[in-house]
Amino acid sequence: MTTFDQISGDLAALEIEVPSWAYGNSGTRFKVFGTPGTPRTPEEKIADAATVHRFTGLAPSVALHIPWDRVDDYAALRTYAEDQGIALGTINSNTFQDDDYKLGALTHTDAKIRQKAIDHHFECIEVMDATGSRDLKIWLAEGSNYPGQADMRGRQDRLAESLATIYERLGEDQRMVLEYKFFEPAFYHTDVPDWGTSFAQVSALGERAAVCLDTGHHAPGTNIEFIVMQLLRLGKLGSFDFNSRFYADDDLIVGAADPFQLFRIIVEVVRGGGFKSVAEGGVAFMLDQCHNIEKKIPGQIRSVLNVQEMSARALLLDTDALAKAQEDGDVLLANEIFMDAFYTDVRADLGEWRESRGLAADPMRAYLASGYQEQIETARVGGTQAGWS
Amino acid sequence: MTTFDQISGDLAALEIEVPSWAYGNSGTRFKVFGTPGTPRTPEEKIADAATVHRFTGLAPSVALHIPWDRVDDYAALRTYAEDQGIALGTINSNTFQDDDYKLGALTHTDAKIRQKAIDHHFECIEVMDATGSRDLKIWLAEGSNYPGQADMRGRQDRLAESLATIYERLGEDQRMVLEYKFFEPAFYHTDVPDWGTSFAQVSALGERAAVCLDTGHHAPGTNIEFIVMQLLRLGKLGSFDFNSRFYADDDLIVGAADPFQLFRIIVEVVRGGGFKSVAEGGVAFMLDQCHNIEKKIPGQIRSVLNVQEMSARALLLDTDALAKAQEDGDVLLANEIFMDAFYTDVRADLGEWRESRGLAADPMRAYLASGYQEQIETARVGGTQAGWS
Amino acid sequence: MTTFDQISGDLAALEIEVPSWAYGNSGTRFKVFGTPGTPRTPEEKIADAATVHRFTGLAPSVALHIPWDRVDDYAALRTYAEDQGIALGTINSNTFQDDDYKLGALTHTDAKIRQKAIDHHFECIEVMDATGSRDLKIWLAEGSNYPGQADMRGRQDRLAESLATIYERLGEDQRMVLEYKFFEPAFYHTDVPDWGTSFAQVSALGERAAVCLDTGHHAPGTNIEFIVMQLLRLGKLGSFDFNSRFYADDDLIVGAADPFQLFRIIVEVVRGGGFKSVAEGGVAFMLDQCHNIEKKIPGQIRSVLNVQEMSARALLLDTDALAKAQEDGDVLLANEIFMDAFYTDVRADLGEWRESRGLAADPMRAYLASGYQEQIETARVGGTQAGWS
Amino acid sequence: MTTFDQISGDLAALEIEVPSWAYGNSGTRFKVFGTPGTPRTPEEKIADAATVHRFTGLAPSVALHIPWDRVDDYAALRTYAEDQGIALGTINSNTFQDDDYKLGALTHTDAKIRQKAIDHHFECIEVMDATGSRDLKIWLAEGSNYPGQADMRGRQDRLAESLATIYERLGEDQRMVLEYKFFEPAFYHTDVPDWGTSFAQVSALGERAAVCLDTGHHAPGTNIEFIVMQLLRLGKLGSFDFNSRFYADDDLIVGAADPFQLFRIIVEVVRGGGFKSVAEGGVAFMLDQCHNIEKKIPGQIRSVLNVQEMSARALLLDTDALAKAQEDGDVLLANEIFMDAFYTDVRADLGEWRESRGLAADPMRAYLASGYQEQIETARVGGTQAGWS
């Protein structure tokens, strides 16, 4: 039986990148509800992200989204972040909000529009150079709404070409991660709808291209941990976008819809050797969520805590006993050993562990008592935010 | 074998109500792309709806949405519509865009917010009195995003009470239709998620309450024509919101994703006695779609033509031969008779039928040649629209 | 905060009926793997069921299936069961294995076949009279495979008539529960596919007819606890068939696929007043599962323990604090309170609780150490079983 | 506008391999209904397959399944088939019915069981040598039912090793096609669940390994024609298993559930250059269906006719006009051109085309009038069949 002490070191490796856009308002196509204290500038988003890290010790970097987080001086932004105690992380491109991209961007039939989209990624790489970011993340919101509207094959070939052009521009220490998504915003076909397509595209690019797995981007019933296993096996799991879903891409707090699924996913990350710090070649953990109705910062704190709690349970799995039961073909015992880890209540141990590291035992209560929320709700009045909503 | 001549009379009974909001811009949570010529006022939406009717003869009324189509003088709006050759139809309420409704409207724990939502429906009924509309349509976008967030049971009871209060205010010739939706914008639970809930709620109200079936609001794999059959059998199918879907509530052009499903649905409407004019007690046919990337008026023309073509095929079904094959237990023959109707190409016959009634054989080509589209694209510059996007 | 002591009494009310067929071999259409020790007679199945009860204290009755458990003398079978320490429970009819039922039974177009199916249910009621069973459970495996094959409306009307005839034969203390199932074995339409249909049918029958909710019989993404809530609200939730699923009707061990869902379901049972003994009017809890690859008796023990563990967590929910957070609209706090109960590890407390009642702290280990399994594997050689596989 | 004359040549290239097991009885886990005239030997199955070809001209080969079609003398079986006018086609292995394979075959932890499964494939290759078959088809029914039961990663590695061993044994003109399946008979994880896994596995083997796409083996909402496009683009679409589904792997007659989907699939086959005879390197078209309630031979005739009709519609697509509309970004026109082909009723033209080739205009009527069905129903009495049911 693995003990909490034994997993303490592994737990310390856990780093979860938070997205700058999680601190802004979001919603559905029907309505975006405003929240008091919403950041109006990239700096304010960074300040919020740093606050999450300050209370949890789990979120040492924040992902940016271009153009939403466009500033004149990225070096200054980097310094600002570092002063707050966090790093600037993955740079996310955006090919879904320019009117020119209505029918496609990197896949468009018009070479000029493709070039515009490629140039946008070049800009992102320049930002990366300034921010010191390692990863360029591409989510391709492209596709079509009606059968016959588009030549799917031609689009796939143009996509390969566009990606190759972008890939060549990457620095030696930079990576590209390509996200896939089952559907939305396109409703008939999506150009990168599944892990197979992302895998085939990044494999054609080279070593520094990998797949980004967003947990909400799958068909109903998909065994996501199988994909985690497979991509780790194939050496192509670059990063996670964590969130959770009941139906479609609901973008709820990670672990909220199906905590057992999150457990199984992390078990496979551990199994596949991906549970280590990014610096040591681990899989990058990121959040990509919406907080449509709940408060943003507490929503993010809850999210990183959920990942931490499930990581602890996953690390507690008695893999020796499990391997033996599997070898023996003892179906019920193997399942029981697996569930034992999941059912273990790690919260008290985690509280102590946090205190031993100078953090509050209960980061949520500590945050709520800190006055930060009241302060931003008072101070941040006026202004508008850039975002997908 | 049924001939086209034999179905001509039934075809003439087909009336499809178009929604005012289909002429405005719409999109996804990620982006609303603008379209030249978008109406800026309720009158311009009505003019567009009347244009669809002028070219197709299929859309004699237009549904309004309050508050999007709020005007000072509804009697004048009604006269305007009638001058354009169409009637004002169903009035749609809106309980999803007011900040007060973030956590519920007719179901809210706060009695004041519930009353506000009830009052909004009273306003809708006043509009109905002025416009001569028969139906009040309620789509309840209420629910919760996280397990534990809400007491589903209490909400259901409050919903019943709120609906009863609204129902009592209806005039003797007015009806309430209650729409259900599987998910979105709420992602954990929706207060009216399925036909069973809508049926139970409207049954508790009385004779003039019925279910509105939106074809896009079901779980994957749901046999929608079965629900059509069942609701007709139970005397509670009030109306359809037509559209189509591949994944979630995609809101694509009706018949675009699965034309065979649309055929099966209309076959059940005919089978259940619901295929007749609304005046004679038929099921009300409405569109409820988005045209995110395609042009709005041609999109609506395509939509009503799709319903007409599938209605023709459904009416052509040789029900006597089918009944015999079913009695005989001849599975393959029954299926073949069914498919024969679906596979029949009715387009040439429909063209002639239209011409015999003073319409263009090909309404789409006629519209495109009419100059209307160019005219509105030139004339309608500036202004903003009210809408869900 | 609710303590374990406080829920001890409620926990003691938990009774889970096990199905006789769970002890026999089962499988998929591709293969039924045999298991040593499989019972060859109804008596041997009852002995196994009694064994589950002896080690867990949770399974005081066993459901029978006719004709699989047909015997000459049901009074003797009842005595046999009582001698083993359990009661005979729900009687399940079977309208899916007779060649006459290929195209329907209670819904068939042929009145003679309908009568045969009705007569079969009369036989079941006679069995109930002899066994002292309260419930007649009807799962209607009827439907069609191809569009056009059947007249769904006519079938629904015939079903209503057949059910009414059976219902009239019930004794005053007997009930009928009508199960619904999304699909399988019919693949195009199923005659009772959803809770709405079952509800409409049983409502037309009377007070002693109710819905049976099988947790595996829903479309992907269905919020099952919502249905639990609704049926309890409508007074029509008769019983559960517990099992779990990842994809279709997988019939896995209850709680194995999504333990959090099982928790949410039981929370709604408690909320709706259904968590009490059957004698006091509670909802009947039954298992309906397959053990295709795992051993049967340990599989059943695991199943009833899963229900018990989740019941304990559900009972621990701090409903007062939850209600306050819900009233306050504090989304994150409400969710946290909800999750607190789910994340509580009740296993040690349950072990003590069992010991205080004369049971082994760990029923699984106790069973495995008991020698029963070895004994039946040795003794039960030869013979064949009746079953759906 | 493409005319029927123009597609006549392409239509003549259509060849659909039928499976020997389609002529035997099949069913669900609940019941296999018997059908009069069911073949009792491989020869009788071949005779039935040849009959389908005689009436349709579409089915020049029949796939065999080992061990169900095991005979002493495969050369004699080949001669028998050729005398009947058809060839022996793909050889299907079976790793799901031997008791040793309960927990895996090519993936089993036990090397002896893996070797047994490999040896079975060696036997299949020997059969191929004797029958002159080109393709070895592997459907891997392996997986696990419970989280923790199996080490998915280890299984994937062992699978790769087993497949490599089998692949090496193939002759130079032989191929391996690897089928994937979303779920069933395993319910938690399947070892080859998606096209990505099959693609990754066959890519590691070499040129003569490719993916087999079974149209029924996908998650709800999956865009199958996208996968067709992608695999053709990657040069790895080996063959199709055609059938249709509403829910899971329903195995209904191809085109029965969603004819428009079948159309879209064949359009992509044409687009990707795969619509040509197998001899010229086309994608192999096979059926893999059940006829649970309908008669087998007419069911197969209906199936191949459905593929032929949809192929005709797909070939009629005006690809020049479509390409222009796509280039122009005219969404509605492109969709209209696409639908024009689908809505064209090709049945009369196909009837004439058949007659010009010495076939009956209506193969179904011709078969039913031929007396073959009555003859086999009379002659084939007694005996049992080997099959998955």
SS3 sequence, chain D? CCCHHHHHHHHHCCCEEEEHHHHCCCECCCCECCCCCCCCCHHHHHHHHHHHHHHHCCCCEEEEECCCCCCCCHHHHHHHHHHHCCEEEEEECCCCCCHHHCCCCCCCCCHHHHHHHHHHHHHHHHHHHHHCCCEEEEECCCEECCCCCCCHHHHHHHHHHHHHHHHHHCCCCCEEEEECCCCCCCCCEECCCCHHHHHHHHHHHCCCEEEEEECCCCCCCCCHHHHHHHHHHCCCEEEEEECECCCCCCCECCCCCCHHHHHHHHHHHHHCCCCCCHHHCCCEEEECCCCCCCCHHHHHHHHHHHHHHHHHHHHHCCHHHHHHHHHHCCHHHHHHHHHHHHHCCCHHHHHHHHHCCCCCCCHHHHHHHHCHHHHHHHHCCCCCCCCCC
**Rounded average pLDDT over C204-232:** 98
Model confidence pLDDT, tens digit, residues A11-29: 999 999 999 999 999 999 9
Q: What pLDDT score was predicted for residue B279?
A: 84
Q: What pLDDT score was predicted for residue D278?
A: 82
Nearest to C210 by CA among C279, C138, C132, C122: C138
Nearest to D341 by CA among B347, A225, B145, B302: B347
* Confidence category of residue B277, pLDDT binned at 50, 70, 90: confident
Q: What pLDDT score was predicted for residue D263?
A: 98
**Inter-chain CB proximity B188 and A246 less than 8 Å:** yes
CB nearest to D184's CB, from C28, C187, C388:
C28
**Inter-chain CB proximity A29 and B389 less than 8 Å:** yes
Q: What pLDDT score was predicted for residue B388?
A: 59
Classify the complex by whether its ipTM is higher than 0.90, answering yes or no. yes
Cβ neighbours around A131 below 10 Å, total: 20
Mutate which: D28, D33, D99, vs C, most C CBs within 10 A: D28
Q: What pLDDT score was predicted for residue C382?
A: 78
**Inter-chain CB proximity C293 and A343 less than 8 Å:** no
Model confidence pLDDT, tens digit, residues A367-381: 999 999 999 999 998
Using a CB–CB cut-off of 8 Å, the residues of D that contact B are 220-221, 223, 246-247, 256, 258-261, 293-295, 298-299, 302, 309, 331-332, 335-336, 339, 342-345, 347, 364
Angle at C191 between CA C189 and CA C194, to 5 degrees: 90
With b for 16 or more beta-carbon neighbours within 10 A and e for fewer, the B125-160 pattern comes to: bebbebbebbbbbbbbbbbbbbbbbbbbbbbbebbb
Give the CA distances from residue B331 to residues B49, B115, B314, C147, in Å, rounded to whole numbers and listed in that order. Answer: 44, 55, 19, 9
Residues of chain A positioned with their CB less than 8 A from the CB of C339: 259
Chains near D with 3+ CB pairs less than 8 A apart are: A, B, C
Judged against a pLDDT cut of 80, whether residue C383 lies above it is answered with no
Judged against a pLDDT cut of 90, whether residue A308 lies above it is answered with yes
Q: Name which of B372-386, D42-56, D265-279 the model is least confident about.
A: B372-386
Chains near C with 3+ CB pairs less than 8 A apart are: A, B, D
CA dihedral B311, B314, B315, B321 (to 10 degrees): 180
**Inter-chain CB proximity B247 and A292 less than 8 Å:** no
Average pLDDT of the residues of chain B: 96
Searching chain C, which residue's CA lies closest to the CA of residue B335?
Answer: C148
Q: What pLDDT score was predicted for residue C135?
A: 98
Q: Helix (H, G, I), strand (E, B), or coil: what is residue A88?
A: strand
Residues of chain D positioned with their CB less than 8 A from the CB of B295: 332
Give the CA distances from residue D9 to residues D3, D322, D344, D363, in Å, rounded to whole numbers and listed in that order. Answer: 12, 22, 19, 20
**Inter-chain CB proximity A246 and C221 less than 8 Å:** yes
Give chain B's end-to-end CA distance (angstroms, integer).
48
The predicted model scores a pTM of 0.98
Alpha helices in C219-346 (DSSP H): 224-233, 259-271, 296-316, 319-327, 331-343
**Rounded average pLDDT over D55-64:** 98
For chain B, what are the domain ranges? 13-316+370-379
Q: What pLDDT score was predicted for residue A1?
A: 74
Give chain D's end-to-end CA distance (angstroms, integer).
48
**Inter-chain CB proximity D335 and A147 less than 8 Å:** yes
Q: What pLDDT score was predicted for residue C277?
A: 86
Judged against a pLDDT cut of 60, whether residue A389 lies above it is answered with no
**Inter-chain CB proximity B27 and A29 less than 8 Å:** yes
Superfamily, domain D13-316+370-379: Divalent-metal-dependent TIM barrel enzymes (3.20.20.150)
**Inter-chain CB proximity B260 and D256 less than 8 Å:** no
Cβ neighbours around C228 below 10 Å, total: 27
CB nearest to B246's CB, from A34, A183, A253:
A183
Q: What pLDDT score was predicted for residue D300?
A: 98
**Inter-chain CB proximity D345 and B347 less than 8 Å:** no
Model confidence pLDDT, tens digit, residues C49-106: 999 999 999 999 999 999 999 999 999 999 999 999 999 999 999 999 999 999 999 9
CB nearest to C246's CB, from A221, A247, A256:
A221
Mutate which: A343, A346, A373, vs C, most C CBs within 10 A: A343
**Inter-chain CB proximity B221 and D293 less than 8 Å:** no
**Inter-chain CB proximity D248 and C102 less than 8 Å:** no
* Confidence category of residue D211, pLDDT binned at 50, 70, 90: very high
CB nearest to B246's CB, from A27, A187, A245:
A187
Q: What pLDDT score was predicted for residue B389?
A: 52
Q: What pLDDT score was predicted for residue C234?
A: 98
Q: Which residues contact B273 (CB under 8 A, 6 or more apart)?
A: B232
Cα(D128)–Cα(D131) distance, integer angstroms: 5
**Rounded average pLDDT over B116-145:** 97
* Confidence category of residue C388, pLDDT binned at 50, 70, 90: low
**Inter-chain CB proximity C220 and A223 less than 8 Å:** no
CB nearest to A345's CB, from C258, C295, C344:
C344
**Inter-chain CB proximity C256 and D184 less than 8 Å:** no
Average pLDDT of the residues of chain D: 96
Model confidence pLDDT, tens digit, residues D135-183: 999 999 999 999 999 999 999 999 999 999 999 999 999 999 999 999 9
**Inter-chain CB proximity C188 and D246 less than 8 Å:** yes
Q: Name which of A29-33, B163-167, B350-354, C184-188 the model is least confident about.
A: A29-33
**Contact status, residue C46 vs residue C62, Cβ threshold 8 Å:** yes
Alpha-carbon distance A318 to nearest alpha carbon in chain D (angstroms) = 11
Alpha-carbon distance B332 to nearest alpha carbon in chain D (angstroms) = 6
**Inter-chain CB proximity B337 and C148 less than 8 Å:** yes
CB nearest to A220's CB, from C221, C299, C343:
C221
Alpha-carbon distance C71 to nearest alpha carbon in chain B (angstroms) = 34
**Rounded average pLDDT over C179-200:** 98
Q: Report phi then psi at B234, rounded to 5.
A: -85, 0
**Paired tokens of D198:** 């099959």
Q: What pLDDT score was predicted for residue B278?
A: 82
- What percent of chain A lies above the pLDDT cut of 70? 99
Chains near A with 3+ CB pairs less than 8 A apart are: B, C, D
Alpha-carbon distance A52 to nearest alpha carbon in chain D (angstroms) = 33
Q: Report phi then psi at D41, rounded to 5.
A: -140, 160
Judged against a pLDDT cut of 60, whether residue B292 lies above it is answered with yes
**Contact status, residue A362 vs residue A17, Cβ threshold 8 Å:** no
**Rounded average pLDDT over B137-159:** 97
Residues of chain B positioned with their CB less than 8 A from the CB of C221: 182-183, 219-220
**Inter-chain CB proximity C323 and B151 less than 8 Å:** yes
**Rounded average pLDDT over C313-340:** 98
* Confidence category of residue C279, pLDDT binned at 50, 70, 90: confident
Model confidence pLDDT, tens digit, residues D184-200: 999 999 999 999 999 99
Model confidence pLDDT, tens digit, residues B23-76: 999 999 999 999 899 999 999 999 999 999 999 999 999 999 999 999 999 999
Q: What pLDDT score was predicted for residue D382?
A: 78
